[in-house]
Structure formats: C-alpha cells, structure tokens
Structure 1
Amino acid sequence: MKNDLPDIAALEALLREQRAAYRRAPYPSWDERAAHLKTLREVLLDSRDAFADAMNADFGNRAKEESMLAEFLLIKEEIDSALRHGKRWMKAQRRATSKWLLPARAKVVPQPLGVVGIIVPWNYPVLLAAGPLISALTAGNRAIIKMSELTPRTSMLFEQLVAQTFARDHVAVVNGDAALAAAFSSQPFDHLLFTGSMKVGHEVMRAAAEHLTPVTLELGGKSPAIVGPHARFDYAVDSIVAGKVLNAGQTCIAPDYVLVPRGKEQAFVERARARVARMYPDFARNADYTSIISARHFQRLERLADEAREQGAQLHALADASPDPHARRFPPVAVTGAPDTAALMQEEIFGPLLPVIPYDTLDDAIAYVNARPRPLALYLYDDDKASVGRVTHETIAGGMSINETLMHLACESLPFGGVGASGMGAYHGYEGFVTFSKMKPVLTQARFNARGLIAPPYGWRVRALLRVMMRF
C-alpha cells in the first residue's frame, strides 16, 4: 500500500473514503455494475500472461497452463455468468402474504451492503481475489482487498492493475505483512470474507466480532475421497490423483485422504504411481509440476511425512524423484498405515501427501467421515445409486462431487463454502450475490385494511376474531 501514512492508518482512511462514496451512491444501476464487471474481466484476462509469470516466480515453478485452467478460466466463467444473470438477481422478489395481512403485499429487495473486505490466500491468489470481488461488484458494493505477502509479485501486480482500473473509493488493494492482515480483519467492514487456514480463521472471526462484522470464512480442512464398493476403480484412482497433484496439493478442496475397500490399498498405490508417471514423465525435470510456496511449507511437509513414518506408517513414493528443498519440489507420496494420532491425520495436509485408509463396509466409511470435523469437500466414486444416495444424505460437507474431484468449485451456478470447522457462508453465483447483499424484507400495506380490528382496546370483538383466526 503506497501512502505517506503508516499502513494501518492508511487502511482506516481508505475505508472511510469508500464508506463516504457508498453513502453518496448506495445503489448503482445494473448498467454501472455490468460495466465494472466487464472492466474487471478485460484487465484480468488481458494481463493473464503477466500474472502467470508472476505466479511462476512466486511459487518457484508453476506451469502457465495450470494458472490458466485453475484461475483465469474460472474467473472468465464467473464474470460471464454474473453478466448473464445479475440484472435478474437485482430485481425485487415477490413473496407470499399471510391471509391475515391481506391486502398487504410482501417482497424482498436486494441492497448493496456497502464496503466489503476480502482477505486473499497465496495458493490461488488471482482467483481467490477476483472470485469474491465479482460477487461483491455484482451486488453493487465497494471493496478493499488484502493480498498475501507470500506471493509478492502477484500481489503487487494485482494492486497496480486495480489502481489503474478502478477509482480508489470503489475498489482498492492493500499489501503488507501479518500485522496489516490482523488490522484489516479488525476494521468495521460491512462484510468480511476470509480464505485461509482454520487457525487464522479463528483470529479473523474474533477480530471481526469487535464490530459485529458479518463474516464468510473459507477454511479448508481434511476433505475425504471415498472409493465406493461399486466404483470404477482405475478411473477413481486416476481422478483422485489428478485432484491431489493440482498445484502440488496446495488446494483447499484437494482430497486430503482416501478411503478404499480393505485389500485395495496396494492396488491404489500402484495405479496412482502409474498415473503420476503418465502426467509427469521424467518427473525430476518436468516443468508442469508446481513447487511448494515456501521453505517453511516444504519443511512442514517433510515433518509430517517423517513423523508418520516414525509412528509406523509406510510411505510410497509415486514418482521417481526425491524431495528437492532447493527447488521446493515435493513429489507425491501415498501413505498407508498412518495412525490416527499422527499429525498427518490431524492437520490439513495442503501438499502432495495422500493417506490411504482401508474400510470394510460403506457404513464404516461413512462413520469414519462423520467422526471427524465437517470437511470443505467430499468426493465419492461409485456408480450404485443407493450408495450415492446414502453418502449424499448421511454426510455433511461444504460441497460434494461424485465421480470427480474439485470441479464443483468450477461450476459457477453452485455456491462454494464450508460448514462447521471448514467455514461458514458461501459465495459464487446467486449465493455470492446474496452474501454481499442485504435481502431487505418489505411489507406494503394497502390504504384500506383490517389492521384496526385487532387494535386496543381489547374486548369481545378482538376475542371473537382471535377465536376465528386460531381455527384456520
């Protein structure tokens, strides 16, 4: 954040500036909102090569194709969907009126909340800045975005482009360290959206509570994949591995562990090894595999693997390469026999380690998932309709994909959000519009109505009316 004032004072001044601008124009027209969305679409897509280069430098290695598929294609689809549907979402929604309130009319009127705060993580820095911003702009809000300090080149480019594209009192980006992030979450925004770890999510929610700021928290967690009794086994393994190795597992909805029918563990490992070999031939020199974001995160993955091995787990390398701390390349590893007490089984992994856990019956698999905090995502591979129905209705997760991983996030018409320990609230599509709107209920009473019949002084007439009303 470029300012002569200290960063926190500048942030507070920026919030006041945006709030004053909101009060001057609290309800932008659809044409204004659509113009903002089109402008955002143009600047991000025109700069996608520069962003891909910046992310490649920030990560140490990240394929341009991966950035295009996992970030910019989703941004384009989200904006296009908002442009198709946003005008309809803005319209007042008629609601039914109780017979005792007739001839009154009821409706819900969507209104912009005001100034939205967005805290962005490092793993998909452009997507997770732009996605909430799209919802906020569609709902008619102003926004301040705090980018991650772990992706400095990407964050600075995003700040520069936003500053060149939007008025400061409309959309602004701030960059800074953890102290600025803490100050950011304590500001009196009209809504605060945070994407990141559960640990930091606790801190954000505590800080937001000071001003009773409503929050949307996207926190991740240990998302399970279940290879069901009637799964197409090879397809299931291939799909789970593809979901796990995207961005080297640094994805909030990556499959964190996989449940397989007992006796299938080794078959899973062998098929997974073959799949990795097909995806990343000559792994050690393959440029398509993403590096781990920092030395600290790399060392954490090493610690998780080493501790699991020391506690009796078996580590199965899925690529012919060793971890490279210099390049921060951590090859995918399947883990069997990990005890539940291992940190690997307690913490969100956020990397290419994949515990493989056997189960005896589908009941056991469901019970295993339900005994743990509710995940951000759940993946089921099974072609049996009854099994699919059971897992769908007997487990709770932020989102679910059947015979697929990750792609429920790419469906812009579906809400994206957590539940319980994996977060609260949702955005994307219509649900994102609602998240960043006050859906104001409005009752309009007709000139001639019966309201006076139930007003004091209470007597025989009111008592008689109550008897009639309570019978219907």
Structure 2
Amino acid sequence: MDRSLTSAPLRALEDAFQAMVARSRTEPAPNLAERLDRLARLRAVVADSEERFRQAISADFGHRSAVETTIAETLLVFSEIRHATKHLKTWMAPQRVATALQFLPARNRLIPQPLGVIGIIAPWNYPLQLTLAPAVGAIAAGNRVIIKPSELVPHFSALLKDAVGQKFDASEMLVTGTEDEVAKAFATLPFDHLVFTGSTRVGRLVAEAAGRNLTPVTLELGGKSPAIIDGSADLDEAAERVAYGKLLNAGQTCIAPDYVLVPQNSVQAFAEKVRAQMRRMFGTDPANKDYTAVISDRHYARLEGLVADAASRGAKILQPAKPNDPNWKAHRKFPPTLVVGASEEMAVMREEVFGPVLPVLGYRDRTDAIAFVNRRDRPLALYWFGKDRAARDEVLSRTVSGGVTVNDCLFHFTQINQPMGGVGASGTGAYHGEWGFRTFSKLKPVFYRSKFNRLADLYPPYGGKIARLEKMMRFMS
C-alpha cells in the first residue's frame, strides 16, 4: 500500500494489522492461562458496559427492545464465554488419532494451533452478539482479532471500540473505525481467517476480495428461510411460534422465518391466527417498548415497497387494526404484516424480507412444499411444524439448509454444542462452542515415528526387502 495515497484511517488499519501479524509470528501460541485471561477480559467488556450497550444499540435503531438486547445478545455472549472457559483445556489438548497397523508402534496426534490474526466484519442487526460470538472462538483458539463494526450502528461501534481498548492491548484485539474506506479495505488484508456476517450480495464481494489472498472465510449470510406447516400441525401453536420468530428484533434476523408454506385449505385460517398472535404479543401501539424499530429510513422504505408490490399483484395484506396510523412511521416501527396469497413473481418472494413482513403461501401436498423450497437457494434455516414423524423426516432428508428447528423457530441457533453456519448462498463455515475453536485453529497432524518401526525398509536400494514389505502392506490394506 502506497502510504502517500492513503488516508489516516487506512494507515492506522494497516499499521495495526502489520503489528498484530508480527506479534502473532513471534508469540504464536498463547498458553491456557493467557487465553482464559483474554476471555475473562472480554466478558468484562460486556459486563462493565452492559447498560450502556443496551442504550447505544437502542439509539442506533431508533428504539430497540431492552429485553431483546439482553436475551438475544448479552446473555448469548456470556454463554459463549462461559462454555469456552469451561472446555478450553480439553479443546487445546492434542487429540489421539489411530495409526495404521503397518506403521505401528508409531503414534499420530492432531495438535490445535492458532491461525494467527482473525478479521471480523460485523453486522448491524445483532451488533453485540454477532460481533463478539465469533471473537470468543477466535480468542479461545489463541488468535489475535481485529473487528470492523457496521457503520449503521455508530453509537454501539464507538462504545465497543472504547470498551475493548480499555481491556485489551492493541496487539491482542482491537476495533476499527467504520469509515467507508476502512470497510472497503478491510477484506483485502491478508488475514489468516476472515468472518463476515451480512447479506449474500456483500458476502460474495467479501469472498472475492479475500480470495485474492487465499484467505479462508466464514460467511454467515441469510436468504429466504422457510417455515413449513404440516397438515398434522397444531395451527394455534405453530402460529404463536412463527409470530415470535418473525417479530423478534422486528424481523431483522438472518434466521427469521422469511415465508410460510401452509396446506391450501388452511392458508387464511393460519394467517388470521398469526395476526392474532402478533397483536397479542405487541399490540397495535407503535410506541410499544417491546417492539423494535427498523434500522433506517431506507430499510423502512424498502419494506413499504415490498408490501405495495405484493398488493398490486393481488396479495391480501393483513396488518394491525390501525396500519395507517402515522405514528408507525414516526417511530420507524413497521407494522407487523402478513402477505396472504404471495406468489413467486412478487418482490417479497424474490428478496430476503429482513423485516416484520411475512408471506403466507399454500401448498398442495408435502412433495409440492419440498419442491418449492428446493427450487430456491439453500436457506440459512428451515422450520417444520407438525406431529407426523414420517413427514418430518422426509422434509429433513430431502431439503438442505444451514440448520433446522422442529416445532419452533430460531432456537437451533442457541444450541452451543451445535455448529451455526450456512450452506451455499446462505454461507460457508461454522462457529459456536468447540466448532468456533476448530474453525479458528489449524489442527496440525503430527506423526511420531518409533525407533522400532521398519519404515527404513522403504529406502533404496530396494531389492527383495521392498517386495516383502509391499506384500505385507497389500495384505493390511
């Protein structure tokens, strides 16, 4: 990089990166105590500023439910740190690997090593949790971390930068600014691993930039995650759980149900039940403190466009009792909306919704529903509701998605012993718990030869000994 042509933020980013790389090469493997100390300091970053983080995130959103910030962000980060702290000693230990008979009495081991410097490009929708959860895995694995927060949450980003700077040396972990030029340059740095959470469109650009350096990437993207209501489902139960999954964070959740497939004869009844549950949970007052605002005017206008397009193409729009109340827009709260009778040509079925708008479509039979899902990109999540185990297992075996929750929404994400990741257009790679530790480690295979091993028989001159050894190896293979 030609320093004469770069700004101060870019020079600062490059200098910080190079300094961190240098330290990662001279001090490549922090011990258990050092890693546990870093995890404890990361917890302190959150614990010491918990209320300020809540307020900053709410300020960035225009209004963010304090309860949702606590349960969907703070507590999940604490859970990640607690789990890593408890299991880190076991994760760091060399792993025994079986040795083929012909090489005995030698030994094989897998030794986890830090990759080096990990870059994290964080999203705006869950800025605390989706920033620090991958950082937990990276730190546990012994890496150094640079975080680029989203420019859409400036209050949070400034607070995180300050809080991390107070607890961590810049050679361990740091948070960059959110300047546009920094965002564009970040993915071009030769990180040892890069994590990006965001849209599929931007994910492709990040992967392309990282690919020039052969930087491995973990992409947590999104897409249109379906909910399938089987004919055996309890509609009241399914409606309540879909309503919650859709309206958490006002639908600004990458694994929120993006559309619902319902048996044709139950479409209207199910939609009415979901609307009733949405009204019960959040009422019809835009000032409801439990209901989160849309992140920006641009995103609000996008949602308005999706609904208007669907209505113009014949869909039935179901909203709260007073959807035209100007206070919805004044508070930047988008009214919970169902698009009944959505069709494939509508924009709401071609784009990821990422808001409190839920298309409801009918299907003829199970095969029809499965085919509908499989005609689209692999979703980040899939939800199935019903009591018919054979029907459930058929859907699970014939569809591919990043993860599944059966008879509810979202909760597969909270299972810390399970990996979280996408597939195809919804992402690549995974983290959470030990999966994060492994993602950010190099599991180095090491072969320990025994002095009693006959491997020297492979060396020339070959003669008759190689024939005997070949015969033995063929017999053992």
Give the TM bin, normalised by the shorter chain. over 0.9
| Structure 1 residue 5, shift from structure 2 partner | 5.8
Partners of 1:16 and 1:31 lie apart in 2 by 25
| Structure 1 residue 8, shift from structure 2 partner | 1.3
Residue in structure 2 matching 1:423, options 401, 410, 427: 427
Which residue does the alignment assign to 2:124?
Answer: 122
Pair 1:383-2:387 in alignment: yes
Instruction: Give the total of aligned pairs.
Output: 469
Residue in structure 2 matching 1:270, options 272, 277, 286: 272
| Structure 1 residue 371, shift from structure 2 partner | 1.5
Partners of 1:43 and 1:237 lie apart in 2 by 38
Partners of 2:89 and 2:231 lie apart in 1 by 46
- Within 5 A, what are the aligned runs for 1:362-381? 362-381=366-385
Partners of 1:287 and 1:105 lie apart in 2 by 61
Which residue does the alignment assign to 1:291?
Answer: 293
Are the equivalent residues in 1 in contact too, given 2:77–2:133 (CA < 8 A)?
yes
Are the equivalent residues in 2 in contact too, given 1:103–1:449 (CA < 8 A)?
yes
Letter in 2 for 1:329: K
Pair 1:66-2:63 in alignment: no
For residues 203-234 of structure 1, give each alpha carbon's deviation from its aligned partner in whole angstroms, at most 9, with x where no partner exists: 10111011100100001110011111211211
Partners of 2:132 and 2:18 lie apart in 1 by 23
Matched-pair identity in % = 48
Which residue does the alignment assign to 2:474?
Answer: 470
For residues 360-398 of structure 1, give each alpha carbon's deviation from its aligned partner in whole angstroms, at most 9, with x where no partner exists: 211221121112110101111122222222222221111
Which residue does the alignment assign to 1:405?
Answer: 409
Which residue does the alignment assign to 1:243?
Answer: 245
The 10-residue stretch of structure 1 (451-460 or 441-450) with the greater mean CA deviation from structure 2: 451-460
Q: Which runs of 5+ in 2 are unaligned?
A: 1-5
Letter in 2 for 1:263: N
Letter in 1 for 2:293: S
The 10-residue stretch of structure 1 (191-200 or 28-37) with the greater mean CA deviation from structure 2: 28-37
Which residue does the alignment assign to 1:94?
Answer: 96
| Structure 1 residue 409, shift from structure 2 partner | 1.0
Partners of 1:309 and 1:460 lie apart in 2 by 83
Which residue does the alignment assign to 2:3?
Answer: none
Which residue does the alignment assign to 1:219?
Answer: 221
- Within 5 A, what are the aligned runs for 1:5-404? 6-318=8-320, 320-322=322-324, 324-404=328-408
Letter in 2 for 1:234: D
| Structure 1 residue 461, shift from structure 2 partner | 3.3
Letter in 2 for 1:304: L
Partners of 1:286 and 1:353 lie apart in 2 by 18
| Structure 1 residue 275, shift from structure 2 partner | 0.5
Partners of 1:225 and 1:45 lie apart in 2 by 36
Partners of 1:259 and 1:339 lie apart in 2 by 11
Name the SS for the 1:325 alignment partner. helix
Are the equivalent residues in 2 in contact too, given 1:78–1:134 (CA < 8 A)?
yes
Are the equivalent residues in 2 in contact too, given 1:33–1:140 (CA < 8 A)?
yes
Partners of 1:319 and 1:365 lie apart in 2 by 31
TM-score (norm 2): 0.96
Letter in 2 for 1:379: Y
| Structure 1 residue 310, shift from structure 2 partner | 1.7
Letter in 1 for 2:430: A
Are the equivalent residues in 2 in contact too, given 1:148–1:175 (CA < 8 A)?
no
Q: Structure 1 residues 319 and 459 mapped into 2: Cα distance closer, same or farther (>3 Å)?
A: farther
| Structure 1 residue 465, shift from structure 2 partner | 3.0
Letter in 2 for 1:80: R
| Structure 1 residue 182, shift from structure 2 partner | 1.5
TM-score (norm 1): 0.97
The alignment's C-alpha RMSD in Å is 1.4
